[in-house]
Amino acid sequence: MSAIKEALVQAAEALHISSPAATEKDGTGVQVYVDETQGNDETGDGSKASPFATPVAALLSAGPNSSIFVKKVLVEGEAPAEGVDADGYAPISAAGAKKAKKGYEVALKKQKKAQEQAEKEKEKEGQEDKKLEESKKIVLEEPAGAEPAKKIKIHQGVQNRDKRVKVCGWVHRLRSQKGLTFIVLRDGTGYLQCVLSGKLTQTYDALTLTNESTVEIRGVIKSLPEGKTAPDGHELVADWWQCIGKAPGGDESFTNLVAEGADPSILADRRHLVIRGETASAVLKVRSKVLQAFRAEFEHQGLTEVTPPCMVQTQVEGGSTLFSFDYYGQPAYLTQSSQLYLETCLPSLGDVFCIQESFRAEKSHTRRHLSEYTHLEAELAFLSFDELLAHLEELICGTLERVFADPKTKALIEQLNPNFKMPSRPFMRMDYKDAIKYLNDKKILTDSGEEHKVGDDIAEAAERKMTDDLNVPIFLINFPREIKSFYMKRCPADERFTESVDVLMPGVGEIVGGSMRMSDQKQLLEAYKTEGIDPAPYFWYTDQRKYGTSEHGGYGLGVERFLAWLTNRWTVREASLYPRWTGRCTP
């Protein structure tokens, strides 16, 4: 076949155009039919029975010298116009033929270009395959006479500059530029830019390296010249490295699996991968420091840490949110709060606290409710309600000061929440009744669209609106008895209300719930009755009033809510390692 003929057949094939049924391939004298309305370039063959839709397709199929006939519109009852056959076909006009030829030439050129491109790519692939094959032969050796590398974690980089070190970690980011490979390495303690050059970039592992692979890199950490930036202002100039575990590329690559903006339920399934990201890991690091700071602040204030049980047979915050299970044939629950146990510790250990998981079978899908959350609770003896509030203020501010005193944590919080403002003391104190008035004055309605009245439980939306409007931490105090728990002490001035407090923070709402407790045994027994609680299983709690009672009070702080406020997270789920909520108990 001639080169032109071959190109023609290929062009036609590329455009899915079939050869004319009863024609010859060289085109000379071949008649080919085009029907612009009924024809089809892909399925047609250029016969009258199966015409093409365009003259270009006709030329590509039958050749540049073929004779094109185009279908005309026949008017019923009228004889066909001159030159038009009985089926309505007439030779293509001179202008039509010229246009078709032009189109045909363009199509041929396109085809040629595509072919050349494909060939180039094939050649390149061949070269790459060869390069990969060659790369397998490269074996890296440590430089002769190099000092032994000292094993360090990334956060120890600054004090180990200009010494030979080895660092292990995960490839957080990867980039090749001008014959160099830049790896941002992550080991959980920080990020380190590493530069590979020369032979180090030519090994099989270097050519096929992927994000999230694990590597060991040896070399010397050098400060960066001015104007260049990298974490901690330095980079590891590698002289040897090895891949420990290669992560998948392509469809299964890490970046494909946890793409930003992906469906939240998919990201929840892949939480084990999401936590490797800069934002999620920053929140978890802040969480760790916050827990340390709370413990240090409690220690400073003389409270002792205890670890109460999570499996219990008593309720604290109402039966509706209890998770129950079978405990050797007896009904038992996952704890809602360790408060009752903390109260029993007062005569033994003095003021106490615990940081323990609490469980709530919350049916609500809100952004601040978890089914399992970390509950920081404390109980203090021989104090007044005012002293309890002062202690809470001291705890929150003292903890924040400790957190911000650590430069790394401060930087993480600034990264997550650049607008965070340290709360100023004293916190605003707002009586429950004043809050009801505030909501009504501001036309903030109940969930069912009504005005608030004294006795209402202020719903999440209204509480959040009020807190966001006021935009400062608030001690909301003295809630009515009916909407609070059975154990709360009544206000001496008006027994319809309780010495209770919710701490509200902008953006989240309630982060702490606390109160003074009933110290009188008789009053507590009555409270069980009113609540319909059988006092028998609570004998140990009641005994706390029997064997030397005292005025006492305490509170529970939702650690994820505190963190959502501090790190400006949309939901408390982001502040939990593996959050559990309605319907999700995995991974």
Report the alpha-carbon distance of residue 37 to residue 316 in Å, rounded. Answer: 79
Written as one string, the DSSP assignment of 151-169 is: E--GGGTGGGTTSEEEEEE
- In DSSP notation, 46-75 reads SSSSS-BSSHHHHHHHH-TTPEEEEE-PPP
What are residue 31's DSSP bridge partners? Answer: 67
Nearest to 336 by CA among 351, 350, 315: 315
Encoding tokens for residue 61?
Answer: 């199929």
Q: For residue 297, give both structure tokens.
A: 């602040």
d(CA 450, CA 463): 15
String of b and e for 16-55 (b: at least 16 CB within 10 Å)? Answer: ebbbbeebeebbeebbbbbbeeebebeebbbebebbbbbb
- Report the C-alpha gap between 449 and 433 in whole angstroms: 19
Instruction: Give me the sign of the Cα torsion angle 413, 418, 422, 427.
Output: negative
* Nearest-approach distance from CB 556 to ligand 4AD, in angstroms: 3
Least gap, CB of 353 to ligand 4AD (angstroms): 10
CB of 528 to ligand 4AD, least distance (A): 16
> In the complex with ligand 4AD, which residue's Cβ is closer, 271 or 489?
489
Q: What tokens does 398 get? A: 């003292």
How far apart are the C-alpha atoms of 335 and 338, rounded to whole Å? 7
Measured from the CB atom, the residue of 234 and 561 that comes closer to ligand 4AD is 561
Parallel, antiparallel, or unpaired: how do β-strands 31-34 and 67-71 relate?
A: parallel
Quote the least distance from Cβ 569 to ligand 4AD, whole Å: 13
Binding site for ligand 4AD (CB under 6 A): 316-317, 336-337, 339, 360, 362, 369-370, 373, 375, 377, 510-514, 554-558, 560-561, 572
Minimum distance from CB of 476 to ligand 4AD (Å)?
A: 11
CB of residue 553 vs ligand 4AD: minimum separation in angstroms? 8
Buried b (16+ CB within 10 A) or exposed e, 380-419: bbebebeebbebbbebbbbbbebbbeeeebeebbeebbee
Q: CB of 479: closest distance to ligand 4AD in angstroms?
A: 11
- Residue placing its CB nearer to ligand 4AD in the complex, 107 or 512: 512
| Closest CB 366 distance from ligand 4AD, rounded Å | 9
Q: In terms of CB distance, is 216 or 362 closer to ligand 4AD?
A: 362
Nearest-approach distance from CB 295 to ligand 4AD, in angstroms = 17
User: In this complex, which beta carbon is closest to ligand 4AD, that of residue 49 or of residue 428?
Assistant: 428
Q: Which is nearer to ligand 4AD, 69 or 475 (CB)?
A: 475
Nearer to ligand 4AD, 23 or 339 (CB): 339
Rounded distance between C-alpha atoms, residue 540 and residue 529, angstroms: 17
Q: Token digits for 160?
A: 């180990």
Number of helices (H), then strands (E), belonging to the chain: the values are 16, 22
**Closest to 60 in 3D by CA, of 1, 19, 116, 112:** 19
CB of 155 to ligand 4AD, least distance (A): 32
Q: Nearest approach, Cβ of 562 to ligand 4AD (angstroms)?
A: 7
Helix (H) or strand (E) holding 349, with range, is helix 339-349
User: For residue 300, which of 375, 444, 398, 157 has the smallest C-alpha distance?
Assistant: 398
Confirm if 279 and 327 have CB atoms less than 8 A apart. Answer: no
Kindly tell me which of 473 and 554 has the beta carbon lying closer to ligand 4AD: 554
| 61 vs 337 by CB, closer to ligand 4AD | 337
Minimal distance in Å, beta carbon 341 to ligand 4AD? Answer: 10
- In the bound state with ligand 4AD, the residue whose beta carbon lies nearer, of 218 and 517, is 517
Nearer Cβ to ligand 4AD (219/556): 556
137 three-state secondary structure: coil
Sequence letter at residue 545: R
Nearer to ligand 4AD, 430 or 512 (CB): 512
Nearest alpha-carbon partner for 53 in 61, 42, 64, 62: 42
Find the angle CA(359)-CA(364)-CA(368) to the nearest 5 degrees: 70
**Residue of 284, 336, 277 whose CA lies nearest to 563:** 284
Smallest gap from residue 278 Cβ to ligand 4AD (A): 25
Nearer to ligand 4AD, 16 or 363 (CB): 363
Q: How far is the CB of 472 from ligand 4AD (least distance, A)?
A: 18
Nearer to ligand 4AD, 41 or 372 (CB): 372
- For 148, other C-beta atoms within 10 Å of its C-beta total 9
